[in-house]
């Protein structure tokens, strides 16, 4: 029986339909992929063109920041106080030096490289790119520059580079006013980043650390420039494409009078203390001296640990600005202000008289508060109490008016608060009150505390700047300004706007005249009897430690640093004051005998000039 062959019939229509669907699907997949490719090409070539062009240029164009030159500082007469001087450094490109150790040894024969400099250089070399220059020695003398230049052919890869660095031509005379610049550290970097100023310091190595240099850092620094350099794939320079010069910092003019400053420094030579002189007509500081001082140029190039430790551990504390940070009992220099308060409160009048037998007692208390003159002054009024500095008169007055009234009245004169002067290093001092003592010590206020405050002792402390400012307000009959050092800037045609505060207004304006007349009488009675100008003054002698009630103070038998401080405030001319001074001499003893002669010399220097130099 024969087997029949099975015949399979194809459905051509179905196969054609399937093929068509598969081809259509494949076509759409190709179109989709081509669309994605074209979209990516559009994104790269059109939308992101600028971004990738910049990235490409970054691989061949290097932007090198250029530091601006720092603004200069002048006194009120245009005398240069802080300048920029050229300096020379020794730069080395590591890849061009075959044997580093041998090269450094050979170089030492011409330019001395200290062990510290060598160690510092080798440590920095570990983290440095070999084709970039690295500083080997930062300060070269002219002799070293000359010697190396003659022998430079022996040292491929080593060269002398020039730059500008801050210099203070008057050394220690202006240190506590100008401050200094120093290398930017981590703390400086953090502070700059907080104020968004770090973008202005890409090539700057130094920054203001203290004084005017720190306070006016943004103005003095300027704005950086840059170079655009074409480099190869190894980072080496091929050519310079563009130069954008930096914008130098602004020059600034201070209210300081350099001659007066130098005179004050000379008068304080070998002493610990401070002198502040203010122009009461606008609050401009004419002189600000803190003694002893130090040379700020040592900090510019980096002071050694040994030298800094010597300054830090010096018992005379040269790093402290005594003019704004030293806190002293004002002693009798504030008696005129206490008397002014007494007149305003009607606790006394011009005709009030009290008997001074040499001591005073709180009613019902046996303790006796002694006068500086053991036998007393007899009958005294407000004039004689100030001219004779009678403690008994002010013990009694302080008892009558109370410490809170004194604290309230002294606040507008600037005691117990920072003055607002344009340097950051300033202390507020202390103007005590009952609430202050409770908060500070959790103790009640005693009437004996009030008696001490009444003669400028006890818890009352002030800075020389505060004392000068308060005296200027008194001389101005209540008109007051914020003490300041800045007079003008390079970019300003006019002077800096004055910060004049609301005046102190008394119920009886005649009281200003009473107190100022008493200070004029004090000057005429002692140091200014033969002066060719009229002056007003008040001296003070502040105890550094307490003496027992019946004990007698003897400077010869106690440690020198426990002796009394000598103080004085003065102004001239009396009719229209042009200068106010405040002075503190640490452990110098009697104020009138020790501070008085210095005050006279200083006022003579300012008042008796042949012609007053025109201020800028």
Same fold, 63-254 and 258-284+321-607: no
Q: Within a 10 A sphere around the Cβ of 94, how many other Cβ atoms?
A: 15
Q: Residue 293 carries which DSSP code?
A: -
Three-state DSSP at 178 gives: helix
Burial category of 516 from C-beta neighbours within 10 Å (exposed 0-12, middle 13-18, buried 19 and up): buried
Name which residue leads in pLDDT, 192 or 475. Answer: 475
- Alpha carbon distance 601, 610 (integer Å): 16
Distance of CA 368 to the CA centre of its chain: 45
> Using one digit for the tens of pLDDT, what is the confidence trace for 57-74?
555 777 778 889 999 999
- Alpha carbon distance 205, 182 (integer Å): 8
> Using one digit for the tens of pLDDT, what is the confidence trace for 179-223?
999 888 888 888 888 888 888 888 888 899 999 999 999 999 999
DSSP 503-568: PP--SSTHHHHHHHHHHHHHHHHTTTTT-SS--EEEEEEE-SS---TT----GGGS-GGGSPEEEE
| CA 612 to each of CA 258, 259, 605, 606, 615: distance values in angstroms, whole numbers, following the listed order | 13, 12, 11, 9, 9
Q: Of all helices (H) and strands (E), which one includes residue 360?
A: strand 359-361
For the chain, what percent of residues have pLDDT higher than 90? 54
State the pLDDT at residue 52. Answer: 62
Q: Which entry of 274, 293, 332, 384 is annotated as an active-site residue?
A: 332
- Alpha carbon distance 238, 610 (integer Å): 63
Range with the largest mean pLDDT of 18-22, 23-27, 121-125, 445-449: 445-449
State the pLDDT at residue 9. Answer: 62
State the pLDDT at residue 482. Answer: 95
Distance of CA 189 to the CA centre of its chain: 18
- Alpha carbon distance 540, 518 (integer Å): 15
Q: Is residue 483 a contact partner of residue 464, using CB atoms and an 8 Å limit?
A: no
Q: Is residue 599 a contact partner of residue 468, using CB atoms and an 8 Å limit?
A: no
| Of 513, 510, 520, 515, nearest in space to 574 by CA | 520
| Of 59, 587, 553, nearest in space to 329 by CA | 587
Distance of CA 74 to the CA centre of its chain: 16
b/e sequence 405-431, b meaning 16+ C-beta within 10 Å = bbbebbebbbbbeebebbbebbbbbbb
DSSP 49-104: HHHHHHHHHHTTEEEEEEPPPPPPEE-TTS-EEEEEEEEEEEEE-GGG-S-HHHHH
Q: Is 390 annotated as a binding residue?
A: yes
> Using one digit for the tens of pLDDT, what is the confidence trace for 258-287?
999 999 999 999 899 999 999 999 999 999
Which sign, positive or negative, has the C-alpha torsion 168, 169, 172, 178?
negative
pTM of this prediction?
A: 0.82
Range with the largest mean pLDDT of 391-405, 485-499, 583-597: 391-405
What are the residues facing 159 on neighbouring strands?
Answer: 91
Counted residue by residue, the chain has a size of 616
Q: Is 29 annotated as a binding residue?
A: no
Residue 110 — φ and ψ, nearest 5°? -110, -40
- Alpha carbon distance 229, 236 (integer Å): 9
> Using one digit for the tens of pLDDT, what is the confidence trace for 512-545?
999 999 999 999 988 898 999 999 999 999 887 5
Name which residue leads in pLDDT, 301 or 572. Answer: 572
Q: Is residue 355 a contact partner of residue 379, using CB atoms and an 8 Å limit?
A: yes
Q: Picking from 110-119, 485-494, 567-576, which range would have the lowest pLDDT averaged per residue? A: 485-494
E-assigned strand segments in 300-389: 354-356, 359-361, 368-370, 378-380
What is the pLDDT confidence band of residue 1, given thresholds at 50, 70 and 90?
very low
Burial category of 235 from C-beta neighbours within 10 Å (exposed 0-12, middle 13-18, buried 19 and up): exposed
What are the residues facing 253 on neighbouring strands?
Answer: 74, 488
State the pLDDT at residue 407. Answer: 96
Q: Picking from 340-344, 404-408, 587-591, which range would have the lowest pLDDT averaged per residue? A: 587-591
Q: Is residue 568 a contact partner of residue 360, using CB atoms and an 8 Å limit?
A: no
DSSP 3-state percent helix, strand, coil across the chain (nearest 5): 40, 20, 40
- Alpha carbon distance 63, 76 (integer Å): 40
Q: Is residue 528 a contact partner of residue 600, using CB atoms and an 8 Å limit?
A: yes
> Taking each helix axis from N to C terminus, what angle separates 591-607 and 258-267, rounded to the nearest 10 degrees?
160
Q: Is residue 162 a contact partner of residue 145, using CB atoms and an 8 Å limit?
A: no
Q: Is 257 annotated as a binding residue?
A: no
State the pLDDT at residue 582. Answer: 97
DSSP 481-495: E--B-EEEETT-SSP
> Using one digit for the tens of pLDDT, what is the confidence trace for 444-461?
999 999 999 999 999 999
Q: Cα angle at 52 between 46 and 58, to 5 degrees?
A: 150
pLDDT at 561 over 80: no
| Of 385, 191, 419, nearest in space to 283 by CA | 419
Per-domain residue ranges of the chain: 63-254, 258-284+321-607
Residue 165 — φ and ψ, nearest 5°? -140, 150
What is the pLDDT confidence band of residue 10, given thresholds at 50, 70 and 90?
low
Bond preceding residue 573 cis, omega within 30 of 0: yes
Please say if 332 is a catalytic residue.
yes
Dihedral (Cα; 300, 306, 310, 311), 10-degree rounding: 20
CATH 3.40.710.10 corresponds to the domain 258-284+321-607: yes
CATH 3.40.50.300 corresponds to the domain 63-254: no
- Alpha carbon distance 348, 508 (integer Å): 13
Chain-wide mean pLDDT for the chain? 87
State the pLDDT at residue 602. Answer: 96
Q: Within a 10 A sphere around the Cβ of 581, how many other Cβ atoms?
A: 29
């Amino acid at each position: 029986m024969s087997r029949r062959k099975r015949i399979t019939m194809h459905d051509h229509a179905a196969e054609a339909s399937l093929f068509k669907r598969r081809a259509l699907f494949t076509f759409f997949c190709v179109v989709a992929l081509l669309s994605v490719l074209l979209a990516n090409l559009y994104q790269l070539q059109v939308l992101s063109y600028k971004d990738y062009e910049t990235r490409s240029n970054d691989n061949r164009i290097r932007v090198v920041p250029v530091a601006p030159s720092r603004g200069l500082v002048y006194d009120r007469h245009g005398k240069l106080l802080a300048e920029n001087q050229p300096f020379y450094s020794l730069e080395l490109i590591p890849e061009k030096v075959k044997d580093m150790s041998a090269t450094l040894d050979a170089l030492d024969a011409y330019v001395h490289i200290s062990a510290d400099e060598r160690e510092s250089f080798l440590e920095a070399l570990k983290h440095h790119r070999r084709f970039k220059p690295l500083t080997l020695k930062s300060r070269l003398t002219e002799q070293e520059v000359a010697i190396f230049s003659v022998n430079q052919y022996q040292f491929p890869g080593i060269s002398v580079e020039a730059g500008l660095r801050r210099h203070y031509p008057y050394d220690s005379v202006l240190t506590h006013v100008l401050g200094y610049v120093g290398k930017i550290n981590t703390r400086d970097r953090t502070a700059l980043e907080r104020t968004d100023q770090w973008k202005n310091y890409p090539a700057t190595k130094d920054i203001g650390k203290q004084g005017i240099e720190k306070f006016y850092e943004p103005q003095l620094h300027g704005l950086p420039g840059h170079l655009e350099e074409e480099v190869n794939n190894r980072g080496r320079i091929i050519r310079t494409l563009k130069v954008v010069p930096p914008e130098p910092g602004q020059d600034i003019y201070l209210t300081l009078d350099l001659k007066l400053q130098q005179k004050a420094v000379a008068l304080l030579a070998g002493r610990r203390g401070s002198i502040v002189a203010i122009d009461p007509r606008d609050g401009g500081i004419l002189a600000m001296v803190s003694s002893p001082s130090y040379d700020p140029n040592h900090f510019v190039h980096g002071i050694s640990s040994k030298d800094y430790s010597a300054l830090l551990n010096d018992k005379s504390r040269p790093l402290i600005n005594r003019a704004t940070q030293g806190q002293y009992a004002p002693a009798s220099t504030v008696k005129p202000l206490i008397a002014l308060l007494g007149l305003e409160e009607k606790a006394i009048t011009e005709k009030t008289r009290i008997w001074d037998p040499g001591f005073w007692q709180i009613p019902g208390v046996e303790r006796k508060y002694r006068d500086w003159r053991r036998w007393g002054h007899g009958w005294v009024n407000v004039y004689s109490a100030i001219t004779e500095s009678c403690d008994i008169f002010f013990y009694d007055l302080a008892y009558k008016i109370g410490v809170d009234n004194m604290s309230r009245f002294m606040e507008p004169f600037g005691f117990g608060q920072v003055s607002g002067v344009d340097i950051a290093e300033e202390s507020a001092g202390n103007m005590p009150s009952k609430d202050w003592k409770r908060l500070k010590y959790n103790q009640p206020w005693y009437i004996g505390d009030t008696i001490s405050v009444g003669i400028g002792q006890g818890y009352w402390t002030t800075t020389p700047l505060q004392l000068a400012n308060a005296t200027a307000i008194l001389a101005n009959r209540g008109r007051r300004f914020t003490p300041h050092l800045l007079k003008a800037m390079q970019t300003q045609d006019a002077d800096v706007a004055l910060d004049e505060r609301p005046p102190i207004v008394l119920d009886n304006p005649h009281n200003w005249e009473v107190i100022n007349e008493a200070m004029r009488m004090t000057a005429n009675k002692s140091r200014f009897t033969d002066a060719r100008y009229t002056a007003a003054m008040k001296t003070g002698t502040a105890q550094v430690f307490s003496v027992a009630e019946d004990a007698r103070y003897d400077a010869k038998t106690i440690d020198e640093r426990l002796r009394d401080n000598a103080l004085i405030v003065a102004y001239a001319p009396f009719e229209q004051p042009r200068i106010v001074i405040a002075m503190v001499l640490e452990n110098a003893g009697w104020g009138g005998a020790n501070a008085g002669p210095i005050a006279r010399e200083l006022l003579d220097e300012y008042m008796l000039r042949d012609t007053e130099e025109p201020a800028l």
